[in-house]
Amino acid sequence: MMRIAFAHYSTEDDIGGASSWLIRLAADLRHQGWPVAVLLPHSGNHPERSTIAAALRAADVEVVLQPQLSSANDAVLQTLGFLNECQPTVFLPQCLPVHYIAAVIAGRQGLPWAMTVHSDDPQYWSILRVIRPGQAGGSTVCVSHYLAGEVKRRGFDSDPLVIPCGVPLSSQQVEHNPNHFHVVYSGRVVELQKRISLVVTSLILACQASPHIRATIIGAGAALQDCQQQVHDAGLAEAIHFTGRLSPPNVQQLLADAHAILLMSDFEGLPVALLEAMAAGVVPVARSIASGIPELVHHEQTGLLVSDDPTEAAAAILRLAKDPQLWRHCSSASRDLVRRAYGQPQTLQQWNNLINDLQATSTPQYPIQQPPLPITTKLKAASIDFLWTLPQRKQRLTQECRLRIAQFKHRLKQVIG
């Protein structure tokens, strides 16, 4: 019997783009008649509060919710145990290094699998450096052409596939209103990657420059209280609103009422929040970084690209608020782009094609034999943990340096001004 298995992660109030993508894809595949099962190691003491598990079960997807284990070896065995119990014919592991280690072991025993590269995160490059999917029964799937180019340039795979994140197409669209211009941010409220301090500073500057601009920050994260304090200190608590985590339907409703969406990240793949907003005609103001963003945001065509300077981002928001013709042009073009290339029907068909190709090569030998531990696929457990922690440590230092430089540049401009 043909069967698709995913392995992901679970937390309370998760709002990550990869999780939103997985919920939609698993639900769509199940709706088409595929038997689908998802392993969710849960981080925290309350697995019953797993946001992703509830959404998947509502879509009639089988969920295996287990505690997230601290030992990498045990976590690999946990994933292999799930595969032996579920006995899929295709495996789609996500995000956690231990899932990919298990995929390599299973792939060498006949189970085809695919690794999805969701972003330009150093963790993905660290994993690919030691786990080459093509050498262990796997395929590499990238959510943007930029990421596929990086995979080839770094020599990890000569022919990665590109399957973008698909989003539902919205029938709603807000009209430009110069007396009430609404800007949103949707995503994790964190400094690492998302640079939320730059987002908040940009929104404060825009709201200070015009009483007609209002902003909403959708999401939760470690920096939420600091951001709320920053807005309070600026005297803009009435102009900039924080929602915390919202359900996907409520997020969609807020996006449909917005005029612009702001993103100032250090790295991305193909931001799901940006796609969701553009599908509703919301115009992106996004930091121009090497990522999938320039594939979505064509300057002055589908949105506006800016640097990491909050003053520039605020000026872009003001420009859209004061120029209805530019806003309408970008709004219409962004909707058309998503409809043509990033709608759920197109991307679902691409995944169906890949899954059918993988099924044709599927010869898993169950039960999958566990290699001697603590060595798995020639990697000691410590090496697996190293893949998980080192990029984060390096990245935190890099992010801190970049943040300080950006703050200094902003203050210097204020002094010069």
pLDDT in tens, 119-137: 888 888 888 988 889 888 8
More confident residue, 113 or 398: 113
Beta strand 213-218 with 240-244 is: parallel
Nearest-5° angle of CA 240, CA 15, CA 40?
165
CB 370 within 8 A of CB 77: yes
Q: pLDDT tier at 141 (50, 70, 90 boundaries)?
A: very high
Spatial separation of the C-alpha atoms in residues 334 and 329, rounded to whole Å:
9
Name the least confident of 47-56, 91-100, 343-352, 403-412.
403-412
Average pLDDT, the chain: 87
- Report the length, in residues, of the chain: 417
CB 160 within 8 A of CB 148: yes
pTM to 2 decimal places: 0.84
Residue 142 sits at φ, ψ, to 5 deg, of: -115, 145
**Selection from 167, 122, 347 nearest residue 273 by Cα:** 167
CB 275 within 8 A of CB 167: yes
* 249: number of Cβ within 10 Å: 8
CB 351 within 8 A of CB 32: no
Radius of gyration of the chain (CA): 22
Q: Which residue has the tokens 């973008």?
A: 164
Cross-strand bridge partners of residue 36? 4
pLDDT in tens, 259-314: 999 999 988 888 888 999 999 999 999 999 888 899 999 999 999 999 999 999 99
Measured between alpha carbons, how far is residue 373 from residues 41, 66, 73, 74 in Å? 21, 21, 7, 10
The domains found in the chain, sorted by start residue, are 4-166+343-395 (3.40.50.2000), 181-341 (3.40.50.2000)
Q: pLDDT tier at 390 (50, 70, 90 boundaries)?
A: very low
CB 134 within 8 A of CB 114: no
Spatial separation of the C-alpha atoms in residues 196 and 69, rounded to whole Å:
30
Dihedral, CA atoms, 86, 163, 29, 337, nearest 10 degrees? Answer: 160
pLDDT (average), residues 207-236? 94
**Selection from 37, 35, 32 nearest residue 7 by Cα:** 37
Q: Above pLDDT 90, what percent of the chain?
A: 63
Q: At 1, which amino acid appears? A: M
DSSP conformational letter for 184: E
pLDDT in tens, 40-86: 999 888 888 888 999 999 999 999 999 999 888 889 999 999 999 99
